[in-house]
Structure 1
């Protein structure tokens, strides 16, 4: 465990033998310079001085969420994705992670739902959310499947689903009673279609269609984390401080599913659909606002709002939802993202890729620098490194922390825990470029290069890490 008493502000240098300050390239947080504090101050002042805003904002909210925010979101998202606005498709959530948990509570069953399927490498902190709902890799109910340059391997996924369906009958009972506001799905599929965490892969349009068709065939619900859709930029070697315009993302899975209408698995009088878009303001404004949204078929969006904790406590983000409504009305969210967030991430991405090529390229370490190969577009927070054969990502990570006071994530963190059949990543690393300042991102790669160089020069030597096999970062580091 790190001795740093405040891992959120890693400035301590004296506790490390090297005397170097800690550089954390695991932490998937936005840099403090990217937080929209000034905008939130303005919107809070407006919200808390106007009774028409603060009275409903400080009360229990309606189940689907703060009405004005749902209306603003519906219009805003329709413009981003070029779809027809429909406020009934929107349910306000407490962020993307919280909404995954609520979706699993409402739309899965401990017996009837066969399994939760996740792309491997997976967003590692999603695993415990599924485990909390009874989906464990050790009992075959949390299952990983691979991806390639176009995204999730849908053919592999279908083969595995078919095997599972053959092993189990179709007459298992359901212990939950969702009717009439919800339904129980046979399978759950979790994906990050755009700039996936950790691999950075963006799912191709053809692969998106194939995944939707598979979900409709096997009564599966796709939970699609669309958290990086608005954080994409042209790949460049000469980034500037100028605004980076919005790049229209590929159609969401829910936008491909809904026009197909009811499937044979829907109740006779309801249309729940087979894909849900999971969004959040965490990466756009700041994770602490704890506000997100789901967009899906109206029946599914309403069913999500009927989660017991929501009905008891009210909408999960009410006051902040009222504040964010003001930012959407004034277009301040778009201005903040285009003038601050995207330019900063574009610069950091360019610098980390350049540093990897100059410091690590000589060791045959490759990096994925685009979401779609050949697309010329990058995005998100992370780059995914592949080490040469025989080099252990875990050992590199341990030695980086021990020798250079550098924290990086080894590929094994992104395996599906307990599922020995899913893909393994012993020779990969994930580096995050969003948290540390630009110069420290570059310095972190330089330190990583020194570690790899020493390992190459002393091939065969295996040193035990001073920090053991526990948490080397001293914090939880990649929330949505």
Structure 2
């Protein structure tokens, strides 16, 4: 029995744009006017022309943007993971920053970055609700911290080691990490109401909202009869912050984007968008200040694909159609083989967006996409434990699935307690790696695993 992995969260190698990158490489490397610059240390922000092109692309993709996204709001990065580390290094401090909030269930591979930044003791999970984040829970935790500081609780106010004279012009009192659209791991999309309310909270309490916006462009209508082109994307937290009167000179949001999901993970290239002051200071982190643009060569390749339209064509005509078929195959298999066992897809409140039908008329539909969905096991004492499902699936059916507790917030003991009564009664499933027939077989094996565990 060939192993099947539903935990792995990456694209199938055949979807990596190798042929298109080969063409772009030739165009860059065989022209000295490009290769001379592509192969040297680049400007700390990335090349101005490339930043212009990324800004124009984002403006076109996010139709909710009320004005053009200019180059001073964009920095070229070495991918979302590298950018996250740089953001934490520059704008948080393990002494000064009061809390590092993470929406739970959380992207488990990001956790080490927060630990490396010294924020382990400050990390605290904030549960999702059906609209993407439990705002009442977050407010209560902030109130608790504010009371400690108002009461001058001993040991609470500790001076920062990151001094303004050393280039740390802005540190945030709080930070919050979230994947607002097509979240990893839950697949949920945060409601517009919660997005606006979260930005208001961020401004009131000096919170930096770090948004992983890496799945936004892999979106399609849940209604399979509606084309995916001309789909309206949800406004990002940064769009709301930028367009709402009262934004500070630093802003309270940063959008972390990546080409990994669109072209190939090994390129290690992405971008951040934020207020100009924020972007400038982000470009002064140690690695960037020493080595220049963190993805100088690969940014030239991606820029060629972006300007020529090759990248957009790859996303619209290769990635989304294939992912959409895999998603449908996975959902249909879950409904066929797992729904009779009491297992359901965890969706939260669906996010409604505008799209065009085949006759170019405006229609309303629900948003789907990304890489992941979450299934919930029934709250039934007779149902097998998550640990038994994982063990039997692995040992008897060569099936690898995630433990729900994998997505807890380390350093927050309450996160694990919450997991045991919520998202550990289920698991994340990925459709990006496996072909359609393999996904169907995987769900059949999962159904057999559960039947076996009941014996």
- Tell me whether the two structures share a fold, i.e. TM-score over 0.5: yes
1:157-236 to 2 correspondences below 5 Å: 157-168=138-149, 169=152, 171-178=157-164, 182-236=169-223
Gaps of at least 5 residues in structure 1 are 1-19, 459-480
1:370 touches 1:376 (CA, 8 Å); kept in 2?
Answer: no
1:90 has 2:61 as partner: no
Match of 1:313 in 2: 291
Match of 2:373 in 1: 383
Match of 2:361 in 1: none
Match of 2:358 in 1: none
1:44-443 to 2 correspondences below 5 Å: 44-82=25-63, 83=65, 84-136=68-120, 139=121, 141-168=122-149, 169=152, 171-178=157-164, 182-236=169-223, 244-260=228-244, 271-368=249-346, 372=350, 375-389=365-379, 390=381, 391-422=384-415, 423-424=418-419, 425-443=423-441
Match of 2:362 in 1: none
Query: How far 1:154 sits from its partner (Å)?
Result: 1.6
CA RMSD of aligned residues (A): 1.8
Distance (whole Å) between structure 2 residues aligned to residue 401 and residue 171 of structure 1? 48
Distance (whole Å) between structure 2 residues aligned to residue 325 and residue 333 of structure 1? 9
How does the TM-score come out when normalised to structure 2? 0.90
Distance (whole Å) between structure 2 residues aligned to residue 178 and residue 152 of structure 1? 33
Distance (whole Å) between structure 1 residues aligned to residue 390 and residue 148 of structure 2? 40
Query: How far 1:165 sits from its partner (Å)?
Result: 2.0
2:131 touches 2:349 (CA, 8 Å); kept in 1?
Answer: no
SS in 1 for 2:176: strand
Distance (whole Å) between structure 1 residues aligned to residue 93 and residue 257 of structure 2? 24
Match of 2:355 in 1: none
1:24 touches 1:406 (CA, 8 Å); kept in 2?
Answer: yes
Superimposed CA distance per residue, residues 175-224 of structure 1 (whole angstroms, 9 cap, x where no aligned partner): 10245663000001000000111111101111100000001111110000
SS in 2 for 1:193: coil
Gaps of at least 5 residues in structure 2 are 353-364
SS in 2 for 1:151: coil
Query: How far 1:161 sits from its partner (Å)?
Result: 1.1
Query: How far 1:246 sits from its partner (Å)?
Result: 4.4
Query: How far 1:71 sits from its partner (Å)?
Result: 1.1
- Taking a change above 3 Å as real, the CA distance of residues 173 and 261 of structure 1, as seen in their structure-2 partners, is farther
Distance (whole Å) between structure 2 residues aligned to residue 394 and residue 102 of structure 1? 36
**Structure with more helix by fraction:** 2
Distance (whole Å) between structure 1 residues aligned to residue 437 and residue 349 of structure 2? 24
Distance (whole Å) between structure 1 residues aligned to residue 304 and residue 162 of structure 2? 39
Query: How far 1:439 sits from its partner (Å)?
Result: 0.9
- Taking a change above 3 Å as real, the CA distance of residues 32 and 146 of structure 1, as seen in their structure-2 partners, is same
Distance (whole Å) between structure 2 residues aligned to residue 357 and residue 369 of structure 1? 14
- Taking a change above 3 Å as real, the CA distance of residues 407 and 371 of structure 1, as seen in their structure-2 partners, is farther
SS in 1 for 2:340: helix
1:397 touches 1:409 (CA, 8 Å); kept in 2?
Answer: yes
How does the TM-score come out when normalised to structure 1? 0.86
Distance (whole Å) between structure 2 residues aligned to residue 249 and residue 381 of structure 1? 16
1:262 touches 1:272 (CA, 8 Å); kept in 2?
Answer: no
Superimposed CA distance per residue, residues 265-318 of structure 1 (whole angstroms, 9 cap, x where no aligned partner): x5xxxx110000000011111111110000010000111111011010111100
Distance (whole Å) between structure 1 residues aligned to residue 164 and residue 38 of structure 2? 30
Distance (whole Å) between structure 2 residues aligned to residue 181 and residue 74 of structure 1? 26
